[in-house]
Structure formats: structure tokens, C-alpha cells
Amino acid sequence: MRYEGTVYRPPSEAGSLIIQLTIGCARNTCTFCNMYKDKKFRIRPLEEVVEDLAMARKYYSRIKVRRIFLADGDALIVKTEDLLYILEKCHEYFPECERISVYGAPKDILHKTPEELKQLKDAGLDMVYMGLESGADEVLKFVKKGVTSDEMIEAGQKVRAAGMTVSITVISGLGGKQYWREHALGSARVISAIKPEYVGFLTLMIEPGTEMYDQYNRGEIELLTPHEVLDETELFIRSVDAEGTMFRSNHASNYIPLGGTLNREKDVILGQIETSRQRSNVQRHLNKESTDLRLWATEACLQAHIDIGRSR
Ligand code: SF4
């Protein structure tokens, strides 16, 4: 296999074979994201992708590949006929494969007809990861996501109607102190309308090199303290109505791990939040330090990467 640049995948695809169908993100406008800033977006020639599948098969000749993730940022931008061809090749080289998944940008999903999505599902595209980030239009606009909450709902419902599994990511604290209520209530509205199989919460980490990092330094966004993030999550849990959706907030960026199945385990999740509040010995006046510490840690990590890069 050949990989170009840093390759990102959802945490649950840790054991998957990753094949780059596209390079980078076609939009690349989100102010908090620096994942694909170093890449110029393009769709790879299909023959190259098939060559990668052949190479992977040789490499994993004795290992069963159960899952394939088609990277990078938004594989659904690829024409449906080309996607169908690649899905067919995935199954040809890896007949044992049980799940193929992609990141799906809402606008790309909306450009596909329900019939096309059904065709993709029937050809083996089982799961779509969508970055909602926030269900509040104020926040989506502020972070330049380029999509509205209603478009998110339409896209998510379309993928679910095609029979695919949907996993949605929300970023705690993305609206800062100004929009935390809108963020919690708007995200609950979108998740209630889509009722995805999975919803995962990350917590905002402002990374150097992003537009949001500069906004933070200019004082244009005030980060939530850990306690405020809990308040925001609690408001989301109390407001959401998505029976059967698996809620997880256990990414490395989260202050505390939370999880349960909505709606029936809402009380369990609220109990986890309350227990965390009570156990926390962190005084509210230390919270500002905590957010500063988060930024400091990010800066330190980046510096370490730069130093390692220089020493190579
Ligand atoms: S968050 Fe997603 S859509 Fe936005 S720039 Fe990053 S990869 Fe692209």
C-alpha cells in the first residue's frame, strides 16, 4: 500500500485496512481542523487504488481482512459508478471483508440520490462516519463548516434510509462560552432527528496552525472549563431523544469517559456526569488554568513533532 501524508481514521477503524481513495478534504475550511491542511485535494486514479488493494492482499496473504476504511476526508465525493467499482474490487481481493466504511460529508451525501445510496449499500458500503461537530447553525457558521443543521439532518436520514450504519461525531465546547446552550440543544435536535446508530463526543482541542488558534489568541473564542463541558453534555443528554443510539464520550480528548445507550440509559449517563462532578476536587477557580494547560499541552506536542521532524 502507498500512503500520502498523514492518514486519519475513526478510532473504531483501528484494526481496518485503510486505502486512500481520495487525498485530503475537498472543503478544508473548518476553522478548528488541521487534518488535511498539508494536502491538495484530489481523487486518486482508480487503477492506483486497485493496485493498492492488490498490494495489500499480497501483504496480508495469510491474514483475514475483516474491515476496510476508504480514506481520506470524504470518499463519497467520488462518482457513484467509480465507488461501485472500488467496492467490487474490495470484495474481489478481500472476500472475507465484513465491513467497508467511509467518512461522508453532508453535501456529498445530498448530491447522491436515494437509489445511488442504496446501490452503494448493496455493493457493500456498510457504514458512514459524519462529522456533525455541532447541531447549532450559529456554531456551524462560526467554524465555517459550510453546511446547515437541516442539511445535516437530511444527509443523515438519507444514509440511514439506505440501510447503512451512521456514526456521528460532535465536538464538546465547539461553541465556546457564547454558544454552549445552542450547541447542546442544536446537537440534540439533529441527533434526535437522525437517530444514528452511534454518536461520539470529542472535546475541542485548539491546535496551532488552525484559524481557531488565532481566534483564541485574539480573544474571539472563550473556551469552556471542564465543568462547563459537563454542563453542556448534561443539557445534550437531557434534551436528546434517540432511542437505541449508542452514546460514547471516551476519546483521548475527553475529560472523563461517559457512555450508554440512549434513551434507556440516560439516567446512567447523567449519573456518570454527576459522579464526576462530585469526585472532582478541582476548584472552579482552577478551571481556567485547566483550559490553559490544554492549550499548553497541544503546543508542547506540536513543538515535539517539529523537533522530531527536524532531527530526522
Ligand atoms: S472537519 Fe472535516 S470537513 Fe472540516 S476541514 Fe476537517 S476534514 Fe474537512
Is the pLDDT confidence value at 285 over 50? no
Please name the residue whose Cα sits nearest to atom 5 of ligand 1.
28
Where are any strands of DSSP class E within 22-164? 22-23, 42-43, 67-71, 99-103, 125-133
- Ligand 1 contact, 73 CB (< 6 A): yes
CA of 166 to the centre of ligand 1 (A): 17
| 27 ligand 1 Cβ < 6 A | yes
Q: What does the pLDDT average to over 215-240?
A: 96
Q: Is 36 in the pocket of ligand 1 (CB under 6 A)?
A: yes
* Sign of the torsion formed by the C-alpha atoms of 29, 33, 36 and 42: negative
CATH code: domain of residue 60: 3.20.20.70
Nearest ligand 1 atom to the CA of 8 is 7
| Number of domains within the chain | 1
Within a domain: residue 252? yes
- Say if residue 248 is exposed, middle or buried (CB neighbours under 10 Å; 0-12, 13-18, 19+): middle
Q: Are 274 and 285 in contact (CB under 8 A)?
A: no
Q: Candidates 36, 39, 107, 211: which one to mutate for ligand 1, based on the most atoms within 8 Å of Cβ? A: 36
pLDDT at 286: 47
**Does 301 reside within a domain?**
no
For residue 293, being part of any structural domain is answered with no
305 domain residue, yes or no = no
Pocket test for ligand 1, best of 9, 35, 109 (most atoms within 8 A of CB): 35
Helix (H) or strand (E) holding 193: helix 176-194
Instruction: Write out pLDDT tens, residues 43-53.
Output: 999 999 999 99
How far is 257 from 259, CA to CA, in rounded Å?
7
Domain range for residue 203? 11-264
Question: For a pocket test of ligand 1, which of 23, 25, 128 has the largest count of ligand atoms closer than 8 A to its C-beta?
Answer: 25
- Asked if residue 247 belongs to a domain, the reply is yes
- Whether residue 206 is predicted with pLDDT greater than 90 in this model: the reply is yes
Res 280: pLDDT: 74
Q: Are 243 and 263 in contact (CB under 8 A)?
A: yes
Q: How far apart are the first and last CA of the chain?
A: 23
Instruction: Report strand pairing: 246-249 vs 258-261.
Output: antiparallel
Query: Does 141 map to a domain?
Result: yes
Say which residue the cell 465547539 belongs to. 174
* Cβ neighbours for 253, distance < 8 A, ≥ 6 positions apart: 202, 203, 204, 205
Residue 168 lies in a domain: yes
Q: What is the pTM of this model?
A: 0.89
Using the mean position of ligand 1's atoms as its centre, give its distance from the Cα of residue 25 in Å.
Answer: 6
Tell me, yes or no, whether 292 lies in a domain. no
Q: How confident is the model at residue 278 (pLDDT cuts 50, 70, 90)?
A: confident
